Amino acid sequence: MILTLKQLSDSQRSSDAPAIALSQASSQDLLQQLELWVTRGWLRALDRSMAAFVLEQDPQAPPSVLLAIAMTSHQLGRGHSCLDLTATLSAPDFVLSLPPEGDEGGQLPSQWLHCVDAVTWRQALAASGLVEDRDTLRRYPERPLVLAGQRLYLRRFWNYEQKIAKALSARLTQPSITPDHLSKRLDELFPESAKDGGQRITDWQKLACALAARGHFSVITGGPGTGKTTSVVRLLGLLQTPAVEAGKPLRIRLAAPTGKAAARLSESIGKAVSELQVTDDVRQAIPTDVSTLHRLLGSRPDSRNFIHHQDNLLALDVLVVDEASMIDLEMMACLLDALPLQARLIMLGDKDQLASVDAGAVLGDLCRDAEAGRYSAATSAWLTEHTHEAVEATGLQLGEGLGDPLAQQTVMLRYSRRFDANRGIGRLAKLVNEKNAGEARQLLEHPPEQLFSLKLRGEQDSKLTRLIIDGHPEADGKPPGYRYYLEQLQQLRPATGTVWNSDGWVQWASNVLKAFDEFRLLCTLRRGPCGVEGLNLRVAGELKHRKLIDTDHGWYEGRPVLVTRNDYSLGLMNGDIGIALYLPVPDDSQPGRMSLRVAFPRNDGTGDVRFVLPSRLVEVETVYAMTVHKSQGSEFNHTALLLPDALNPVLTKELLYTGITRAKNWFSLIEAGPGVFEGAVSRNVQRLSGLALQLKAELSKEAQR
């Protein structure tokens, strides 16, 4: 019999309650329990080790303290920067990585904490010699744990939040600067009124440019196709024009968290700059090359440290960071540490996408009021004066007094030009984002153009294989599967005898890479029949069976691979995708001899390709299927999202939204079990963090000075 988590929890409470309460247990009892949780996969070995380490440092540490520390460590592994004591006591069992279908036997956290209240638990933590209680006046910076209110941190992550809050507060409280002739320059950059369906609408792109032009820190958020890139390019033109005219061009840098995101931004920036209504001198002073954040800061091999930091600042005046939802706490702290105070920082991203894999949800924390706006009366009047847009008529909430300084520098773009609101992808993404599971299901039951729905009958349903391999050949436009790129590989191959240094090989490889991006299968899990690992094996086996590839293991022509770790010696970043191809050996003495090389796009907007020997690639994996997390920053003509047969903690509306919006023209939803889609739509990511509170506190301090 399979039990749900609730049934398991209830049965355990009634039939397998611990003989002693947590208050009566010894530290060794608690460590033994942690070890059992590790064995079951509910807890990481690292988390248990953290508790054991604390006990070594403080042999008198009570079990309640050790349990809190193990849970805090575990929360970090799940993306939370801290452990909220009150939230934990309200649902103790959901702190651990319990399997969604439940598990037989074993004691749950709720059994250990059933007699514990938040006040007592906090008092025990505050009394520990390893915990600094920030609610008192005494400071112990050497202690490895920090307790702030009901939030328990590992020191490092408390420091990250502190650094970010202080740095952003300093930027947000810098005096505003209104560029000369701002209204005139904005009208030149936005010569036409914004329209949607022929109707005049608020030009949020223009508003975003205006707000960002006056501040040292700005956030521009919005969904795919809302014009984030267009807005920032026009903003750069706005800022660079007077600087070029004065003979002092601004030093501008562009960055993104991953190589894939950097490549996409390079391409879109390059096109937007070429169409910008500015002089050639200004256009040439706007960069189009985008680097990763690691490369921008100067990553040190095998180290958390970067070349650029507070004692070796970046030499720039303006920094634009795209796909900011993927930035974790540590990276944000390091970035702000290396950025001169007088430099402008402009962050772009979709607040509704998945947060970073590592701890923190920086963009989400910064965009809590983006939907509502909360502009002060002064900000609204200033915007209306310089943009001629009636901000007060937009229906946004008005901020009190001077308003939150962060809200005054945040703009949400609201109209998508990529997804027609009346077509499938845009409608489904909107309904998911609104947590409207009922209407989303109705849409899938009668899918309009762009949408396909497939419900599997068992793990081995042949319909899944046909979709992955062949796509939807009967549909308008013939949404492709993986057969397409392999057919392109064969059909476009240069003629026999083509010399090894011919440009034809580079063009062929580039076309194959583009063809591979026509379709992608996305998953929510790594393991299991609906996970990446199993599906990659299954797809390779099917392609071999259909004689589209020669073998399904090792290195073979057509094998797509995903780089899983930055390799600066090869210039490859985590998330880069390449394809193995047979190419002539670069030796004129051996005409006709071929060897495998892996083709990677250079990700610099040129469309060029680099070739790497397979033997030099260590940290790679086959990538017919990839997780939704790994797909962030990418876009595919046809995207298929496979949901597992049971709801699990990673399934949220943010994950669904991210998967749906990776599709450009067609989206296929594949369901292995009923109710999973609806369950995921109804849940959103809850990243525990104190960043918003700390930023508010720092801004309050600045206001009192």
Q: What are the CA-CA distances from residue 598 to residues 482, 489, 509, 617 (Å)?
A: 18, 13, 9, 9
Please tell me the predicted confidence (pLDDT) of residue 634: 79
Residue matched to tokens 């592994």: 77
pTM: 0.79
Please tell me the predicted confidence (pLDDT) of residue 607: 64
Please tell me the predicted confidence (pLDDT) of residue 528: 78
Q: Which residues pair with 610 in a beta bridge?
A: 600
Decide: 254 and 291 in contact? Cβ < 8 Å.
yes
Count of other CB atoms within 10 angstroms of residue 362: 29
The strand order across the sheet containing 83-84 reads 83-84, 151-154, 145-148, 131-133
Radius of gyration of the chain measured on its C-alpha atoms? 27
Q: pLDDT tens digits for 315-340? A: 999 999 988 888 888 889 999 999 99
Count of other CB atoms within 10 angstroms of residue 483: 17
Q: How far apart are the first and last CA of the chain?
A: 64
Q: What DSSP string describes 430-480?
A: HHHHTT-HHHHHHHHHS--TTEEEEE-SSTT-HHHHHHHHH--TTSTT---
Count of other CB atoms within 10 angstroms of residue 570: 15
Q: Which residues pair with 130 in a beta bridge?
A: none
Pairs from 90-96 (Cβ < 8 Å, separation ≥ 24): 93/5, 93/9, 94/5, 94/649, 95/71, 96/37, 96/42, 96/43, 96/71
Please tell me the predicted confidence (pLDDT) of residue 449: 84
Q: What is the largest CA-CA distance in the chain?
A: 81
**Low-confidence stretches of the chain (pLDDT beneath 50):** 1-19, 100-104
